[in-house]
Every structure is written in structure tokens, then in C-alpha cells.
Copies of this chain bind each other. A is one copy, B any other.
Amino acid sequence: MKPSIPKGTRDFLPSEVYKRNFIFETIRSVFKKYGYQPIETPTMENLTTLTGKYGEEGDKLLFKVLNNDMFMEMAMAIDKLDKIGKEKVIIEMTSRGIPQAAAEGVLDLLNIETLPDLEKAFQNAPTGLKGIEELKEFHAYLDLTSTSNKIKFDISLARGLNYYTGCIFEVEADTEAYPNLRMGSIAGGGRYDNLTEVFGLSGVSGVGVSFGAERIYDVMEEEKLFPEGVEKDLDVLLIAFDDASHKYAFKAVQQLRDSNIIADLYPAPTKMKKQMKYANARQVPFVILIGSNEMESGVLTLKNMTTGEQFNLTIEAIIEKLFTR
């Protein structure tokens, strides 16, 4: 039998799990501080939910349910601006039934970079001016925040899923601080006022954001942003040389754990060389060596695996030393 995992899934090994957990724990703690409540939903979706409503192709169906007008047709075409360029977007817009002049006019608007310029362009368009009022209100709140993120207004931003009814946003890694990054957006979302209506619950609005876990991981890895010790695994490994000292060490390893030191005992008193090889593979900073002499005297050998230094100490003194380093 060939080992395999389901299509679309993958395994994560320890060093990845430590780093992924750091990312998720950071996100979770910020959400918690902001008073969000957690729910857990299945990681799978009914196929009908996705294909019938808002799968990659299905979003075409969804926006027809929600908002069957030309704005959505345009938004979907504009979403591709980065990828296919201005000319092809105009072709796509006209093929969706939007007049050539309107398509070009919209793309001209997308070159506008500030709210005042946009206000000028919309001076005869009451709906446009109302939108600008809302954006000003929104930015008035943003201006009150002390966030270290740089917030940039971008009228050309569009997103693939068209259930949004208000602001949309994307988060990009800070390419000023990290000029070598070419990562695109690492999170994105927006406001939707009618989404739950599709499932029979109307009048519940929301703002949602999804994080690109893999991209955040890659950015942090590339720029060495994970804190030191995030992969910290094992504080100390105990190595015993015979059956009697193995039992002695079994008791000692518990004393270490009771002091919240991450400790393990090599499972059998095999050859020292084999046990030290494992200690090196686990990159453990300290080992404790226990033979019959150590067992009788109660004075154990603590070895610093980085410097090679050895210390003869009782288990209590070792706990003191490992705890206060």
C-alpha cells in the first residue's frame, strides 16, 4: 500500500507547525482583544453551497442573485486589471454588454488617486458623491487609529467574490520595509450586507477578512520575522547508561517537567553514541548524563551542547540553572 493523503490536503511537520501556530495564535489574540467571539465551522463545505452559489465560476451565479446589474459585471472585469491589462479588461467589459465609451470612462476613473480628485470627477453624480461621503466618514475613523499599518485609498481595487456591498480591502506586506518582497496581498475582505440572505437570514451585515496563511508564512520566513525560540522544542534530554540509572532518570525527568522544563528521557539505556546522535538531531541545548556513579552520588552531569561545557550538579541545582538562564 502506497501512503497518500486526500487530494488538496497536506501534512505539516513540527518546524512548520510551530511557526503556523505562532501566526494563528497572534491573529487569535488580537481578535480576542477586540472582543470578537470564536465559532468553529466544518473545514469542508457542501458541494452545492460552493458550486451552486459562489465557487470560482459560481460567483457569476451569486451576483446575479444578489445584484443583477452592470456594476457587478464591471467589478468582475476590473478585478482582472492587474493580470490581463487595461486593453483586455475593456474587451471583457464590452463582451459583457457594457458600451465601449462607458468601459473606457470607468477605466479613466480608476486612475484617480485621491478622494478630492474623485469628488471633482463625480461633481454631477449624486450617487457618486454619496459614496464619497461614506468614504470620508470611514477615513475619519481610520485617522483616529494608532495602527502602524499604512492605509492607502485605491479606487481600482476589486475582489473576485462579488458579495461585497461596501468597502473592500486588501493587506499587502510592507514592501518599503522589506524591498525584496514580491508577495501580493496576504489578507483581504470587505463589507457585505446581504450575504446571509442567500441562506434565509436577512438583515445581518458583516465585515469579513480572510488571511493567506501560506503567504504570511512565506513573508515571515523570508524576512526572518519569526521570533527566536518559536521552534523551541526540548530544553533538556536525559541520557541513562543502564537499566537502574534509566529508572533513576525516569524520576528525574518528571521533576524537571514538574518545574515546567520541557524535558525528555531517551526511551532506552542504549549506547551513549546513539543517544547523543538523537540529542544532536533534536538540537537540544542541554543533556543530562546519568550512569551508576551519578545515580549513587545524586550529582548528575549536565552538558551544554552548544559550548561543550559540563557541570556536576544535583537535579535541584540543574532546575535552578535551566530555569534562571
Residues of A within 8 A of B (CB): 1-6, 9-14, 16-18, 20-21, 32-35, 37-46, 52-53, 140-141, 144-146, 198-201, 233-234, 237, 247, 250-251, 254, 257-258, 260-264
Given A33-B257, A144-B250, CB of A199 within 8 Å of CB of B3 = yes
Distance to closest chain B CB from A58 (angstroms) = 12
21 A-B interface contacts by CB (under 8 A): A1-B200, A2-B199, A3-B199, A3-B201, A5-B46, A6-B42, A6-B44, A6-B45, A9-B42, A9-B44, A10-B42, A17-B38, A34-B263, A35-B264, A37-B233, A43-B43, A144-B250, A144-B251, A145-B254, A146-B254, A146-B258
Q: Give the docked Cα–Cα distance between A40 and B217 (Å).
A: 16
B33 touches A260 (CB 8 A): yes
B1 touches A52 (CB 8 A): yes
Q: Give the docked Cα–Cα distance between A261 and B40 (Å).
A: 24
Which chain B residue lies CB-closest to A246? B141
Q: Give the docked Cα–Cα distance between A167 and B34 (Å).
A: 48
**Chain B residue contacts of A237, Cβ below 8 A:** 35
**Chain B residue contacts of A20, Cβ below 8 A:** 40
- This chain's copy number in the assembly: 2
The 9 closest A-B pairs by CB, nearest first: A35-B264, A9-B42, A14-B37, A3-B199, A12-B40, A17-B38, A35-B234, A6-B44, A144-B251
Given A53-B1, A262-B35, CB of A11 within 8 Å of CB of B257 = no
Q: 10 more A-B contacts (CB under 8 A) besides A13-B39, A35-B262, A140-B247?
A: A3-B199, A5-B41, A33-B260, A33-B261, A33-B263, A34-B263, A34-B264, A35-B234, A37-B233, A43-B43
Distance to closest chain B CB from A201 (angstroms) = 8
Q: Give the docked Cα–Cα distance between A231 and B199 (Å).
A: 29
**Chain B residue contacts of A261, Cβ below 8 A:** 33
A250 touches B141 (CB 8 A): yes
SS class of chain A's interface: helix, strand, loop or mixed? loop
> Which of B16, B46, B141, B250 sits near A247, CB closer than 8 Å?
B141
Distance to closest chain B CB from A323 (angstroms) = 14
Distance to closest chain B CB from A244 (angstroms) = 11
Q: Give the docked Cα–Cα distance between A154 and B21 (Å).
A: 39
Q: Give the docked Cα–Cα distance between A10 and B10 (Å).
A: 23
**Chain B residue contacts of A145, Cβ below 8 A:** 254
Q: Give the docked Cα–Cα distance between A147 and B21 (Å).
A: 29
A35 touches B254 (CB 8 A): no
Distance to closest chain B CB from A158 (angstroms) = 26
A14 touches B38 (CB 8 A): yes
B33 touches A17 (CB 8 A): no
**Chain B residue contacts of A198, Cβ below 8 A:** 1
Q: Give the docked Cα–Cα distance between A234 and B199 (Å).
A: 29
Q: Give the docked Cα–Cα distance between A18 and B40 (Å).
A: 10
